[in-house]
Chains A and B, each alone.
Chain A
Amino acid sequence: MAGSDLAKYPFLNEAGEYLRESGFGWDELDLPDMQYIVDRAAERIEIEADGKLYDKLERYEVEILTFLVSLIIVKSVGIDQVLRKFALAEARRAEKFLTEDLRKQGESKRGSVFAKIFEDLFKLKISISEDRRLFRVRVVDYLTRASHFHEQEWKLINRIVHNGYVYLDADETVRLVRNELSIFIYDKVKAMTLPSLPQSIKSKANQIQLKMLLRYERRTSTAAREYPPCIKHALEVMGRGDNLPHSARVMLATYMLAIGKTVDEIVMMFEKAPDFNEKITKYQVEHLAGMKGSHTKYSVPSCDKIRNENLCFATAECEMLINPIQFGRNKK
């Protein structure tokens, strides 16, 4: 792997090997020469904690050290939200480089390097389509990853699927692993044990910690809600005394439980059902609430599930929602 690759992908094992081989020691971080690296690492964290991309790229010796020091600082700041933002931004930074490199893949023979990154890091086999314009991943590998994405365009039905493969362009192929890369970096920091830190890093970490603590103290409260259209529809059907399918009843009851209605309030919502039996309904609602039976509290079914069961009556306000419980949360 070339030095320029290590600069872009400092999380690879090869970067760690480089550090070991160069005989780098912790004490060196207090040397005046290293202040540049420490400042750069702090800048990287602050930019990334703001949700922005850190787009500077220097020679690999600088990048590998900056990345290492960033990990140490984020670890010693010890605020989970900061670590999550950092991990996601680092993943997006790598995603940007990977996309550029994958696009060049057709022009050079470096493809195998990237196929190796995908396979080593994410256990994802990618190959090039017959016409060399697209990449392909196995359907099952695609489903495992993309089913966590919320945008409709990532649903399998909106992709090119043929003969066991999903065909993707370079951006999409890399986007597929962004979450895993983010988790990889998050886990890497979580698993770190820090030795006693050089003063230069300690003071930087303290400064960032103070700033971030102030930022994350504030918590947003959820506004009073309006029912999402699927729930409204179920309530209308109920109100008319028509029969509501079992899956719709589960959706309605779990939703009402999730927004804090009591079991008795929910039972009375089913009063007009043609087969209403107060005792049975109460037992069922209590079961969903985790008070009876297996004591598992059931969550509100996802929008995907509701869509599959033909219970979805989405309006424009439902765009980007993955669960009806999110409906109206961002309303002012």
Chain B
Amino acid sequence: MRADTKADAAKTISVLKKTFKEYYFNRSKAVEQPLKIEQREFGYMQCGQAGMLRHLSFKSMKELDALLVREAPCDVYCSNGYYLFPAEQPMQAKQWHGADLIFDIDGKDLGMPCVPSHSYFICTQCDKACPPENDHQGSSYACSFCHSNKADYVSIPCSKCIEGSKRETRRLIDFLLVDIGLERSAITVYFSGNNGFHIHISDDAYVSLEPQARSDLVSYLSGTGLILETIGVRKTNTEDSFSIKFPKSGLAYGWRRRIADKLKIDMTSAIKLKNIVHQYGGYEGFKRELEKIVKDMGVRIDPQVTTDVHRVFRMPGTLNSKSGLSKTKCTDLSSFDPFLDACLLGDGLINIRTKTQVKLKLKKKSFNISADSSEIPAYAAVYLMCKGLAQAG
């Protein structure tokens, strides 16, 4: 969030705070109670203030709800970890005894080609914004007003971005069900509140898993660290030469099956596989190619989120200060529309001044706002202010 002057910033913060407060007052039931609330650490951020207030603990949702209405935080977090003393500091004193397994799929990590067409540069020097241009690259940017080359890059995700994240989420769910063997009922999908999905796993067996083991699981899901020997290409002593010897245990399951399907090979295709390896210039060349193939077939999850067992993670049902949308449970991922189902703020009118011409669609209503003063529904006004593309008018 940025503003030309302190007064503008203060006004924008005040409007955001008021709208967030109304949300927490009217929709306290929307905030989901975490399992074993008394063992969790909580944290929150305040509008316009840097740094997170964390190491908090609550005995009940009632206490937390009271805080949400009182403070109207812009972001609310709850630990994935369980602690004996969640409010203690430093971390060791909390006495960790497990953490939920979580996954984060962020639309911005998917390299969607449509992103430049709905992203804006906001100059960090003069705070002016410029509309989307397909040929802009971060490094070649220069502000057309003050010529500074430093800018924030803000995106208003489009339906293609959301579809990309959904596709990635489905792929993750497929891995978790077919390979890892989780029950479908143990997997809950949430829209992150901005541009991605959070996948929460409720399976007690995974709670005590250490970061190293979670990291190994991440490698599996994201397709990192596969060695050629796994599919039967064995390096011989002479440089770059190899032999084919399929593993006795076969190619029928897991990554072996995925690669076998991709390369169209089976346990009888030793010669075919040998030719494929030669086609890529031998062992090392094929290794590089396979790394690419496997990475493409893997799921793009944020490794930090899954391996960090002390993370405070956005709470379901709370608002995301990057958009004003809510982190919302997706009971049916295919039909879930974040710009409708997670857009829960009211539609009372708020006056804003946008920094450039902006297009967006929320609650099935399209907005095309010129760089001027306008009165639009709270949910759209908050969205633009959270994106840094508008100030309270």
Using CB atoms and an 8 Å cutoff, list the residues of chain A in contact with chain B: 133-134, 138-140, 143-144, 146-148, 152-153, 155-165, 167, 169, 247, 294-296, 302, 304-305, 307-309
Contacts and interface: CB of A to CB of B under 8 A. Distances in A.
Contacts of B253: 160-162, 167
B255 A304 contact: no
A169 B247 CA distance: 11
B4 to A, nearest CB: 22
A162 B178 contact: yes
Given A161-B255, A164-B180, A164-B181, A296 B90 contact: yes
6 contacts: A140-B205, A155-B220, A159-B254, A161-B253, A162-B252, A307-B225
Interface residues of B, number: 43
A140 B249 contact: no
Given A295-B90, A296-B91, A305-B307, A167 B249 contact: yes
A247 B307 CA distance: 13
A147 B307 CA distance: 13
Contacts of B206: 140
Interface stretch (B9-17, B208-216, B268-276): B208-216
B210 A147 contact: yes
A144 B212 CA distance: 9
Interface string B88-113: 01111000000000000000000000
A133 B218 CA distance: 29
Contacts of A308: 215, 218-219, 222, 224, 303, 307
B179 A161 contact: yes
Contacts of B210: 144, 147
Interface of B: 89-92, 178-182, 205-206, 208-210, 212-220, 222-227, 229-230, 248-250, 252-256, 294, 303-304, 307
**Which residue, A157, A163, A165, A304, has most C-beta atoms of chain B within 10 A?**
A157
Contacts of B181: 138-139, 162-165
A213 to B, nearest CB: 35
Closest 4 CB pairs of A and B: A164-B181, A162-B253, A161-B254, A143-B213
Contacts of B90: 294-296
A293 to B, nearest CB: 9
A307 B219 contact: yes
B213 A157 contact: no
Contacts of B248: 133, 169
Given A143-B216, A147-B216, 9 more contacts: A143-B217, A144-B210, A157-B223, A157-B226, A158-B227, A163-B181, A294-B89, A294-B90, A308-B219
Contacts of A163: 178-179, 181
Given A294-B91, A308-B215, A160 B249 contact: yes
Given A167-B249, A309-B303, A146 B216 contact: yes
Nearest to B304: A247
Contacts of B218: 308
A157 B180 contact: no
B89 A304 contact: no
A249 to B, nearest CB: 13
A177 B90 CA distance: 34
A302 B215 CA distance: 10
Contacts of B215: 147, 302, 304-305, 308
B142 to A, nearest CB: 15
B221 to A, nearest CB: 9
B209 A139 contact: no
B89 A157 contact: no
B303 A153 contact: no
B15 to A, nearest CB: 30
A106 to B, nearest CB: 14
B103 to A, nearest CB: 13
B227 A152 contact: yes
Nearest to B183: A164
Nearest to B254: A161
A128 B352 CA distance: 67
B179 A304 contact: no
A140 B254 CA distance: 15
Contacts of B303: 305, 308-309
Point out which of A146, A161, A294 has the most chain B C-beta atoms below 10 A from its C-beta.
A161
Report which residue of A148, A169, A295, A305 has the largest number of chain B beta carbons within 10 angstroms of its beta carbon: A305
Nearest to A134: B249
Contacts of A302: 212, 215
A157 B181 CA distance: 15
B307 A162 contact: no
Nearest to B295: A310
A164 B90 CA distance: 36
Contacts of A148: 212
A302 B181 CA distance: 28
A134 B219 CA distance: 24
A160 B229 contact: no
Nearest to A305: B215
Contacts of B213: 143-144, 147
A175 B225 CA distance: 21
A165 B249 CA distance: 14
A304 B214 CA distance: 11
A299 B126 CA distance: 40
A284 B248 CA distance: 51
A161 B180 contact: yes
A161 B220 contact: yes
B219 A156 contact: yes
Contacts of B252: 160, 162
Contact of B216 (A155, A162, A164): A155
A309 B305 CA distance: 12
B227 A156 contact: no
A88 B217 CA distance: 27
A167 B223 CA distance: 19
A78 B139 CA distance: 63
A277 to B, nearest CB: 13
Contacts of A304: 212, 215-216, 219, 225
B249 A152 contact: no
A139 B212 contact: no
Contacts of B212: 147-148, 302, 304
Contacts of A169: 248-249
